[in-house]
Amino acid sequence: MADRRFSRGGPVAPTLDSEIAYLKGAGPAIAQRLRALDLHCVRDLLFHLPLRYEDRRRHTPLAHLRPDEEALVRGRIVAAEVRIAGRRTLRVVLDDGSGGLLLRFFHFNEAQRQAFAVGRWVQAYGTVRAGPGGPEMVHPQYRIADAAEVLQPDADLTPVYPLTTGITQSRLRALIDRALEIAATDADLLTPLPGVDGPATLEALRIIHHPSTAADAEALLAHTHPAQRRLAREELLAHQLGMRLLRAHLKSRPAPVIRRPQAAIAELLGVLPFAPTAAQRRVLDEVAQDLASSRPMLRLVQGDVGSGKTVIAAAALLAAYRDGLQAVLVAPTELLAEQHLRTLTAWFAPLGIAPLFLSQRVKKRERAHVIAALAAQRPAIAVGTHALLQEGVDYARLALTVVDEQHRFGVQQRLALRDKAGHLAPHQLIMSATPIPRTLAQTIYADLDVSVIDELPPGRTPVTTVVLSNARRDEVVMRIGEACRQGRQAYWVCTLIEQSEELNAEAAAATAARLREELPQLRIGLVHGRMRPEEKDAQMRAFKEGATQLLVATTVIEVGVDVPNASIMVIDNAERLGLAQLHQLRGRVGRGAGQSQCVLLYQSPLGEMARARLETLRATTDGFAIAQRDLELRGPGELLGRRQTGEIGMRLADPVRDAALLADLQRLADDWLIHHPALAQRLIRRWVGDPERYAQV
């Protein structure tokens, strides 16, 4: 990569676009670690927002320390010793004239030990605990000096940022401060934005990183500070602009008109073993209208797990086929693709249509056959994985792409599909089982029209959910054994320990081993993310066919797999998962006619938020209600700078909390695209990333 520090004239000052490695105090190793926080260039540092603030603006007299409160203190060292009895501990006693404080360190080196010399001064910041002999702090942050005057409190509140391994708060603070300095030289951040009021961008960022009053900090934590409102508006506007451009580009080419889609829908409904729900009917009509137009359809179909999205996909595929065109259904995994193939093959058989199938696993001869069929000027329906999008697979008449379980598919994949259609833009149907409230959908997918299947097929018995402490695990194991002996099947889900598939695989293997000991008569399978895809599929298949009765799994089973006979799910350490994920997991059971159970095991003690999440799940099975609750729980009062999920990709705005701003911003976005197109590009760049990503589409 070119060294961006140097232009032909010599070293140049870093700009907001420079890589972090070129900042003073950074370097390649630090930059590498910061990538884990999604921090790449200087600009990213500006938008890495504090989780909270610490007040180090005054020293608390030692006599006034209260347990469980955080405090900045200053005192003279009156004793320092290493205790060997029990755990090796460095104990430092401070005195400030008003009272005393004991500092305790378990990890320390010789230099640190020596620095705590009696008579010197320490400034420390930490949480106060009530010890046997008075107040204590364990591993506080500290500075040591020979004179008290050197140790002064901070002028502003101190930001506390989300961290990653190998990066300290002070390092990150210094880098962010440097980024703020660089920002001050960036003319772009000073440009007034028509229609967006409040403190200017740079000023707003400064306030967020360094509020100077407790009132500011409080308002920031409550998300009511004008600086935040300003930036949230900017960010939402940038997203609206980006999505509008994306949509405009996608719509700039005509789509093949699909004639008589309603006839195809009627044909499909004629062969289905059930009648569509009213919600399915409505969405079928919406899709039919889109297909019959020469404007490319860009439609997201949202429906809870089990709401019957496949029917919509099948009807659209059939419509294209019946009009002599080609259509593909792409699934995120081999297993899901095969499941779709089975379903569609069964439904289409009476109509004399056999879908093609393509995945990594398809053998050479069969692959060649499929590729030839798609390259020919003949109607076709193909089901498969992203193998359908790869180079070498060309379509003569691609008119429609259906993408299932959208959250595993980015914009890039959708673009790859579009490019398969030559000069025409194929219609796109995207199916998502992640229910999101409509306001949120409009923000995240402003480039898509949204249809909602808000009704489940009749005759389903909702899953009953119980929340149990881990202390009752034995009882649960016994009941699972009992149920499996009676012919039922169960999942035992092990949750993420860390972001390490390795560790999770180990944990799942250990759980399986333990369960095999506890339930020797059961046939127990195991599936986790470290297995090769063939192994994974073999395990899933064995479970599906009933060869195994209990399947121990990591969260890899989350997406769309259908085993109707599985009617019990145990989720270990359920408190670790978010609501949406728990809901997705639970959706794996309750697919048959009988009553299904979900057991959420938790590790005590349960935090307030985790309790609220588990209680929500116990109380309802409605995915939209759960999604709404999820956003409420994560919404107001949430940690200030926490990034939303990658799905939403917002730094600061919360589309639910800030929903009231949206209508106004949508109008503003339209206005900007007409009157300030260049500014629009700059704002997209500031908040969303490279506008070329949109320009290229």
Binding site residues, ligand ADP, CB under 6 A = 274, 276-277, 280, 303, 305-311, 433, 457
Residues forming a β-bridge with 432: 302
Residues whose CB is less than 8 angstroms from the CB of residue 544 and which lie 6 or more positions away in sequence, other chains included = 561, 563
Q: What minimum distance in Å lies between the beta carbon of 682 and ligand ADP? A: 41
Q: What minimum distance in Å lies between the beta carbon of 286 and Mg ion? A: 18
Residue identified by tokens 């569609």 is 344
Q: What minimum distance in Å lies between the beta carbon of 310 and ligand ADP? A: 3
Among Mg ion, ligand ADP, none, what does residue 34 contact (CB within 5–8 Å per kind)? none
Furthest-apart CA atoms within the chain: distance in Å: 93
Q: Which residue is nearest to Mg ion (CB)?
A: 560
Among Mg ion, ligand ADP, none, what does residue 457 contact (CB within 5–8 Å per kind)? ligand ADP
Give the strand pairing for 100-105 and 449-453.
unpaired
Segment 606 to 645, residues that bind Mg ion, using CB under 5 A: none
> For residues 243 and 335, which CB has a smaller minimum distance to ligand ADP in the complex?
335
Q: What minimum distance in Å lies between the beta carbon of 347 and Mg ion? A: 14
Q: Give just the sign of the alpha carbon dihedral 63, 64, 66, 70.
A: negative
Contact region with Mg ion (CB under 5 A), list: 210-218, 504-512, 560-568, 600-608: 560-568
Among ligand ADP, Mg ion, none, what does residue 525 contact (CB within 5–8 Å per kind)? none
> For residues 318 and 559, which CB has a smaller minimum distance to Mg ion in the complex?
559
> For residues 382 and 508, which CB has a smaller minimum distance to Mg ion in the complex?
382
Q: What minimum distance in Å lies between the beta carbon of 463 and Mg ion? A: 17
> For residues 271 and 424, which CB has a smaller minimum distance to ligand ADP in the complex?
271
Distance CA 596, CA 631 (A): 27
CA separation (Å) from 116 to 77, 109, 123?
7, 11, 12
Q: What minimum distance in Å lies between the beta carbon of 566 and Mg ion? A: 16
* Residue 245 burial (10 A CB sphere; 0-12, 13-18, 19+): buried
Among Mg ion, ligand ADP, none, what does residue 280 contact (CB within 5–8 Å per kind)? ligand ADP
> For residues 301 and 614, which CB has a smaller minimum distance to Mg ion in the complex?
301
Q: Using an 8 Å Cβ cutoff, are 318 and 381 in contact? A: yes
- In the chain, the amino acid numbered 88 is R
* Residue 89 burial (10 A CB sphere; 0-12, 13-18, 19+): middle
Among Mg ion, ligand ADP, none, what does residue 339 contact (CB within 5–8 Å per kind)? none
Q: What minimum distance in Å lies between the beta carbon of 353 and ligand ADP? A: 18
Contact region with Mg ion (CB under 5 A), list: 214-222, 275-283, 421-429, 557-565: 557-565
> For residues 248 and 346, which CB has a smaller minimum distance to ligand ADP in the complex?
346
Q: Give CA 596 to chain center in angstroms.
A: 28
Mark 509-548 with x for binding to Mg ion (rule: CB under 5 A) and - for no binding.
Answer: ----------------------------------------
Q: What minimum distance in Å lies between the beta carbon of 310 and Mg ion? A: 6
Q: What's 373-430 look like in SS3?
A: HHHCCCCEEEEECHHHHCCCCCCCCEEEEEECCHHHCCHHHHHHHHHHHCCCCCEEEE
> For residues 277 and 326, which CB has a smaller minimum distance to ligand ADP in the complex?
277
* Residue 127 burial (10 A CB sphere; 0-12, 13-18, 19+): middle
Contact region with Mg ion (CB under 5 A), list: 152-160, 377-385, 542-550, 553-561: 553-561
> For residues 233 and 583, which CB has a smaller minimum distance to ligand ADP in the complex?
583
Contact region with Mg ion (CB under 5 A), list: 235-243, 385-393, 559-567, 604-612: 559-567
Q: Among the residues of 133-213, which ranges form H helices? A: 169-183, 201-209
Q: What minimum distance in Å lies between the beta carbon of 343 and ligand ADP? A: 7
> For residues 307 and 489, which CB has a smaller minimum distance to ligand ADP in the complex?
307
**CA-atom Rg of the chain in angstroms:** 29
Q: Among the residues of 251-358, which ranges form H helices? A: 261-271, 278-291, 309-322, 334-348
Among Mg ion, ligand ADP, none, what does residue 621 contact (CB within 5–8 Å per kind)? none
Distance CA 639, CA 618 (A): 25
Q: What minimum distance in Å lies between the beta carbon of 435 and ligand ADP? A: 11
Among Mg ion, ligand ADP, none, what does residue 307 contact (CB within 5–8 Å per kind)? ligand ADP
> For residues 20 and 626, which CB has a smaller minimum distance to ligand ADP in the complex?
626
Q: What minimum distance in Å lies between the beta carbon of 546 and ligand ADP? A: 18
> For residues 191 and 461, which CB has a smaller minimum distance to ligand ADP in the complex?
461
> For residues 448 and 456, which CB has a smaller minimum distance to ligand ADP in the complex?
456
Q: Give CA 118 to chain center in angstroms.
A: 50
Q: What minimum distance in Å lies between the beta carbon of 54 and ligand ADP? A: 46
> For residues 89 and 262, which CB has a smaller minimum distance to ligand ADP in the complex?
262
Number of residues that bind Mg ion (CB under 5 A): 1
Give the strand pairing for 134-138 and 100-105.
parallel
Q: What minimum distance in Å lies between the beta carbon of 320 and Mg ion? A: 19
Q: Using an 8 Å Cβ cutoff, are 136 and 102 in contact? A: yes
> For residues 386 and 591, which CB has a smaller minimum distance to ligand ADP in the complex?
591
- According to the binding rule CB under 5 A, does residue 306 interact with Mg ion? no
> For residues 264 and 650, which CB has a smaller minimum distance to ligand ADP in the complex?
264
Q: Of 615, 536, 533, which is closest to residue 582 (Cα–Cα)?
A: 615
Among Mg ion, ligand ADP, none, what does residue 274 contact (CB within 5–8 Å per kind)? ligand ADP
CA separation (Å) from 217 to 62, 168, 202, 226, 438?
25, 22, 17, 12, 32
Among Mg ion, ligand ADP, none, what does residue 308 contact (CB within 5–8 Å per kind)? ligand ADP
- One of 211, 560, 590, 655 touching Mg ion (CB under 5 A): 560
DSSP characters over 617-628: HHH---HHHHHH
Q: What minimum distance in Å lies between the beta carbon of 280 and Mg ion? A: 13
Q: Mapping DSSP to helix (H, G, I), strand (E, B) and coil, where does residue 19 land?
A: strand
Residue identified by tokens 């204590």 is 136
Among Mg ion, ligand ADP, none, what does residue 6 contact (CB within 5–8 Å per kind)? none
Contact region with Mg ion (CB under 5 A), list: 164-172, 324-332, 552-560, 672-680: 552-560
- The count of other CB atoms within 10 Å of the CB of residue 106 is 10
Q: Using an 8 Å Cβ cutoff, are 626 and 579 in contact? A: yes
Q: Which residue is nearest to ligand ADP (CB)?
A: 308
Q: Using an 8 Å Cβ cutoff, are 69 and 77 in contact? A: no
Residues whose CB is less than 8 angstroms from the CB of residue 24 and which lie 6 or more positions away in sequence, other chains included = 178
Segment 143 to 172, residues that bind Mg ion, using CB under 5 A: none
Q: Give CA 600 to chain center in angstroms.
A: 22
Q: Using an 8 Å Cβ cutoff, are 71 and 123 in contact? A: no
Q: What minimum distance in Å lies between the beta carbon of 562 and ligand ADP? A: 6
- Contact positions vs Mg ion (CB under 5 A): 560
